[in-house]
Structure 1
């Protein structure tokens, strides 16, 4: 790893084990960032609020959020994150299989920073994750990001 690579903490909120596995593989093989995974919306909010087993969880620099989650769906999580002054500055990328226009519109109304439809092809999925990572690590300035 070179000195010019900034390491960020990424929280993946995803209940599909296959998508979690592909995302972990992308991070392990190609990316230099920390990836934590939670599998439902209620767990995501506990993680973000450092509650219970997540008392020592790092604050994520970026959230990758599926919409269709058990317990609390991604729309609810997105709304709560963006309504919380302590969390609202964290960029949230909706990463979902839905291509429905109402999901895209609703996500942006709830202040998602981007909406990405998950490619089903493994190589295209890995490429999408790498592009998201490149953009948020190399292109944009994140709030409170460490140099």
Structure 2
């Protein structure tokens, strides 16, 4: 489990849709998530974190990655994260509306740790956010920075 005396590591949310971003923030607030939420609004912004991590900035506890992103597609972000020695071990949860078999298969082939379809409706989203928090922020033992 996470050390209660150390500061909470961040969650990186890669999401371009303002409504989904707002919904995610509200869901995490309602579930009393203590981890800071960092946001990348497109695939390039997500990739721009890599040099920061290489320079010693703490890695996120988990990355929540949408697939349908402007500038750089989410699957390309995942591929580049997995190819980089610094970000290779960061858990990546694909959180998307795409239920396409090709997207699911490719995400897992590229090293996604989980693939979650975005639920429709705030109450369902709250449940998913709570489960993400419980597993990835409380139960899962992350790689050490």
Provide the TM-score with structure 1 as the length reference.
0.87
* Whole-angstrom CA distance in 2 between matches of 1:59 and 1:127: 26
* RMSD value, Cα: 2.1
Residue 11 of structure 1 corresponds to: 12
Q: Are residues 47 and 117 of structure 1, via their aligned partners in 2, closer, same or farther at CA, if it must alter by over 3 Å?
A: same
Instruction: Please identify runs of 4+ aligned residues in structure 1 that moved more than 6 A.
Output: none
Which deviates further from its counterpart, 17-26 or 64-73?
Answer: 17-26
Q: Does 1:78 align with 2:63?
A: no
Partner of 1:35: 37
Q: Does structure 2 conserve the Cα–Cα contact (< 8 Å) formed by 1:65 and 1:93?
A: yes
- Once residues 5 and 17 of structure 1 are traced to their aligned partners in structure 2, the CA distance between those partners, rounded to angstroms, is 31
TM-aligned CA distance change 1:85 to 1:119, over 3 Å = same
Tell me the residue number matched to 2:23. 22
- CA distance in 1 between counterparts of 2:132 and 2:7 reads 14
Q: Larger deviation: 22-31 or 68-77?
A: 22-31
TM-score (norm 2): 0.88
Give 1:79 deviation, angstroms: 0.1
Residue 121 of structure 1: how far off its partner (Å): 1.1
**d(CA) in 2 for partners of 1:80, 1:99:** 22
Give distance in 2, aligned partners of 1:4 and 1:118: 33
Contact kept, 8 Å, 1:10 with 1:60, in 2: the verdict is yes
Is the contact between residue 30 and residue 126 of structure 2 (CA under 8 Å) also seen in structure 1? no
Q: 1:4 to 1:99 in 2, by over 3 A?
A: farther
> In structure 1, what is the equivalent of residue 97 of structure 2?
97
CA contact (8 A) 2:97 2:118 kept: yes
Q: Which runs of 5+ in 1 are unaligned?
A: none
> Secondary structure of the equivalent of 2:138?
helix
Q: Distance in 2 between matches of 1:48 and 1:10?
A: 14
Offset, 1:144: 1.4
Residue 46 in 1 paired to residue 54 in 2? no
